[in-house]
Amino acid sequence: MNPLAIKDNVYWVGAVDYSCRDFHGYSRSPQGTTYNAYLVLDEKITLFDTVKSGSISLMLQRIRELVDPEKIDYLVVNHVELDHAGCLGEIVNLCKPEKIFCSPMGLKSMQGHFDTEGWPIEVKKSGDTLSLGKRTVHFIEARMLHWPDSMFSYLAEDKLLLSNDAFGQNIACSERFADELDREVIEHAMKEYYHNIVQPFAPQVTKTLEQVAGLNLDIDMIAPDHGLIFRGKDDVAYALETYRRYAAPGWKKRAIVTYDTMWHSTERMACAIGDGLTEAGIPYHLLPLKANHHSAVMTAFADAGAVFVGSPTHNNGIMPGVADLLTYMKGLRPKCKIGAAFGSFGWSGEAPRAIHEWLEKMGFEMPVEPLTCNWVPKKDALEQCRAMGKSVGQALAERCATK
Q: Is 83 a catalytic residue?
A: yes
Give helix 320-332 / helix 294-301 axis angle, nearest 10°: 50
Q: Is 165 a catalytic residue?
A: yes
Check binding of 314 to ligand FEO (CB under 6 A): no
Q: Is 234 a catalytic residue?
A: no
CA R_g for the chain? 24
For β-strands 4-7 and 10-12, DSSP reports them as antiparallel
Check binding of 79 to ligand FEO (CB under 6 A): yes
| Nearest alpha-carbon partner for 313 in 358, 265, 383, 272 | 265
CB within 8 Å of 123: residues ≥ 6 apart: 101, 102, 103, 104, 106, 107
Q: How far is the CB of 146 from ligand FEO (least distance, A)?
A: 6
Q: Which of 8, 18, 22, 24 is catalytic?
A: 24
| Contact flags string 208-237 toward ligand FEO, x per CB under 6 A | -----------------xx-----------
Q: How far is the CB of 105 from ligand FEO (least distance, A)?
A: 13
Q: Is 285 a catalytic residue?
A: no
Q: Is 79 a catalytic residue?
A: yes
Task: State how far the Cα of 88 lies from the Cα of 77, in Å rounded to an integer.
Answer: 9
Closer by beta carbon to ligand FEO, 101 or else 345: 101
Closer by beta carbon to ligand FEO, 150 or else 258: 150
∠ Cα 31 82 114 (to 5°): 170
CA 180 to each of CA 185, 233, 244: distance values in angstroms, whole numbers, following the listed order: 10, 15, 23
Q: Which of 42, 141, 165, 225 is catalytic?
A: 165
Read off the amino acid at residue 206. Answer: T
Closer by beta carbon to ligand FEO, 104 or else 288: 104
For ligand FEO, which stretch binds (CB under 6 A), given 38-46, 81-89, 233-241, 384-392? 81-89
Count of chain residues binding ligand FEO (CB under 6 A)? 9
Q: Is 226 a catalytic residue?
A: yes
Q: Which of 193, 194, 259, 284 is catalytic?
A: 193
- Name which of residues 107 to 146 contact ligand FEO (CB under 6 A): 146
User: Residue 40 CA to chain centroid, in angstroms?
Assistant: 27
Check binding of 83 to ligand FEO (CB under 6 A): yes
Closer by beta carbon to ligand FEO, 42 or else 225: 225
E-assigned strand segments in 250-314: 255-259, 284-288, 306-310
Task: State how far the Cα of 84 lies from the Cα of 184, in Å rounded to an integer.
Answer: 27
Q: How far is the CB of 147 from ligand FEO (least distance, A)?
A: 6
Check binding of 165 to ligand FEO (CB under 6 A): yes
Task: State how far the Cα of 80 lies from the Cα of 87, in Å rounded to an integer.
Answer: 10
**Where on the chain is the footprint of ligand FEO (CB under 6 A)?**
79, 81, 83-84, 146-147, 165, 225-226
Catalytic residue numbers, as ranges = 24, 79, 81, 83, 146, 165, 193, 226
